[in-house]
Amino acid sequence: MKKKTSVVGWIALPILITVFCSAVICLCAIRPAEKVQTYLKVGFMDNNTVIPKSDGIEGLTIVKTDIDTEYSGKTYSEGEVPYPEYGTQYAVLECEKNGIFVPVYWGIGSELLELGGCNTPSSMPAGADGNTVISAHVNTFFHDLDELKKGDKLTVYTDYGRFTYSVRETIEFASGDKTYLRKSEDNILTLYTCEKELLGEAKKRIGVICDLEKKEFYKEAEHE
Amino acid sequence: MNKRLNTVICTVLTILLTLVLAALYITLYADRCISTEDFMKQQVQATDTYNNAYDSLMKKFSDSCGETSIPVEVDEKAFSRDWMKSHIDKRISVGFADFDGEGEMEYDFTAVEKSLTEYFEEYARTNHVIKDETYEKRLAESIANAEKTAVSAVDVYHLETMKSSGIWSDIGTARNIIPRLKTALIAAAAVIAVLILLLKNFFYWIGTALFASGCILSVPTAIVKFSGYIMRFAVKDHTAYNLVTKTLTAVNGNVLISGLGMAAVGIIMIIIGIIIRRHKEKGETEQ
């Protein structure tokens, strides 16, 4: 006599197949989902909206601003660099060649890193003398940072001017190493992010150092 | 064929068919959304964006009235609702023409220049202002400012920002891939379905694939819908917020309903498959 197949087995099988396929699709969809999120954030930025007191950090006011990337008026080689307020988006970093287009916030922290690149306050704002250090998450805004090569051009747009940089070298350093993040005599832009890791935390940082090629201030410096 | 081997082969084919069906649905939907400009224009129509964009533009001029000293009536003469509608449609069309390397957006600003020039001339006449270099410069600045504000208002999908950030070219690449991907997925689904048909219990396995792919589509979209994820999205201004959130909500809703439909059909086919199998086993046992 043939054994009857259990109905429970036949009902459970579709559920198991669903769970398995869902897991496969979730793994494959991680990167596209992050890209879509980044696109939505970059493509539709709020204009001068203040988000008061983010969770977990008292007193952090995040201000998103609309930076003009198509300024066509007169520019000057010298000008004043105002220090932004902590938590304010004060710039946009662009590299046309590989599609990097990142809002840059003055400050550091997880809330700001969710919204764009972070210009470390212990470094200089774009256009000022010294080292401008900007970091961002590798799975969102700086996903293509490792594709930058020597000679590639980047532009930082701000409300007070636009600054063109050229990649001088690519760098790699351990997560605790501050060598590349220190003050500098040269006017440079240091961009860095984590090395891409599928699982777990990245121990290495990768990035580029760029030389300042051109300063274009929108207002002339006031000579005392 | 050995029963167990048959079941294993069918399970593997069903897993493949599930992934293919889910990918096929997403591809077909993406094709509908981005292959032509119709979807975007339909969403603009459905969300009353033409009127919202016009009202938003007039509000911007009204808010800057104190700064520019130009009454909002001057701007109302310069821009009409029909102007806004035709330029929004044109902007979307040009965005899509851009994929083929064609299309340059041309704005009709004759009414703007006329309205502002007439206002300035009236002002100069009334206040005995000399039409010198400062006058001409101020007029040119006012016209440029009005045009720039209008250009920004017309770009309701922020295509310019998407273009500069490389997003629009990614969409263009996707548009090129979609037709071939569609063909490949349909062919793959057909081949797998035929293979399952040659093995036993077609209804059960195809039903399983439909149920699984339906769940894959409906569960994430249900989470997005009931968690209010889209509504938490902060967007530049009311017009864009309305358009983007309602478009995302519509897309999410459509995928959810389709997913639930596929899952329901799948469950029915699974039940039919189990009933057929039980009848067969009963028949074999009685023999």
Range B113-126 burial, b when 16+ CB lie within 10 A, else e: eebbeebbeeeeee
Of the listed ranges A35-44, A52-61, B95-104, the one predicted with least confidence: A52-61
pLDDT at A46: 46
Our CA-based measurement puts residue A141 at a distance from the nearest CA of chain B, in whole angstroms, of 11
Nearest partner of A13 among B209, B24, B218, judged by Cα: B209
> Taking the alpha carbons of B57, B60, B62, B64 in that order, is the dihedral positive or negative?
negative
pLDDT at A158: 92
The count of other CB atoms within 10 Å of the CB of residue A161 is 23
- For A151, A179, A198, B260, the CA distances from A171, given in Å and listed in that order, are 14, 11, 21, 50
Crossing angle of helices B38-46 and B49-63, rounded to 10°: 70
User: Could you read off the pLDDT of B122-172 as tens digits, one per residue?
Assistant: 888 888 888 888 888 888 888 888 888 898 889 888 787 777 667 777 788
pLDDT at A1: 45
Q: Tell whether B281 is within 8 A of chain A (Cβ).
A: yes
Instruction: Name every residue whose Cβ is closer than 8 Å to that of residue B18 and which is 6 or more positions away in sequence.
Output: A17, A18, A21, B208, B209, B212, B213, B216
Q: Between chains, do B158 and A20 touch, taking CB under 8 Å as contact? A: no
Shortest CA distance from A6: residue in chain B: B278
The residue ranges of every structural domain in chain B are 3-34+168-286, 49-164
What is the rounded distance in angstroms from the CA atom of residue B160 to the CA atom of residue B178? Answer: 23
Nearest partner of B236 among A41, A141, A103, A84, judged by Cα: A41
Residue tagged 């040659």 (tokens): B198
Average pLDDT over residues A11-40: 85
Whether B259 has a pLDDT exceeding 60, the answer reads yes
Continuous segment of H or E residues that includes residue A9? helix A7-43
Range B130-145 burial, b when 16+ CB lie within 10 A, else e: eeeeeeeeebeebbeb
User: Could you read off the pLDDT of A81-125 as tens digits, one per residue?
Assistant: 888 888 888 999 998 887 788 899 998 888 788 888 999 888 899
Mean of all residue pLDDT scores within chain B: 86
Average pLDDT over residues B6-34: 92
Of the listed ranges A41-45, A177-181, B65-69, the one predicted with least confidence: A41-45
The SS3 call for residue A65 is: coil
Two structure tokens written together for B178: 């979609």
Best of A21, A38, A144 to mutate (most B CBs within 10 Å, chain B): A21
Whether A56 has a pLDDT exceeding 50, the answer reads no
CB–CB contacts below 8 A, A to B: 92
Which residues in B lie closer than 8 A to residue A96 (C-beta atoms)?
Answer: 164
| Chain centroid to CA B19 | 23
Percent of chain B surpassing pLDDT 70: 93
Ranked by mean pLDDT, the top range of A72-76, A124-128, B198-202 is A124-128
pLDDT at B1: 56
ipTM of this complex: 0.78
Of A1, A13, A66, the CB nearest to B285: A1
- For B99, B165, B183, the CA distances from B33, given in Å and listed in that order, are 15, 20, 18
Best of A25, A48, A147 to mutate (most B CBs within 10 Å, chain B): A25
Instruction: Name every residue whose Cβ is closer than 8 Å to that of residue A11 and which is 6 or more positions away in sequence.
Output: B270, B274
Percent of chain A surpassing pLDDT 90: 32
B126: amino acid identity, one letter = T
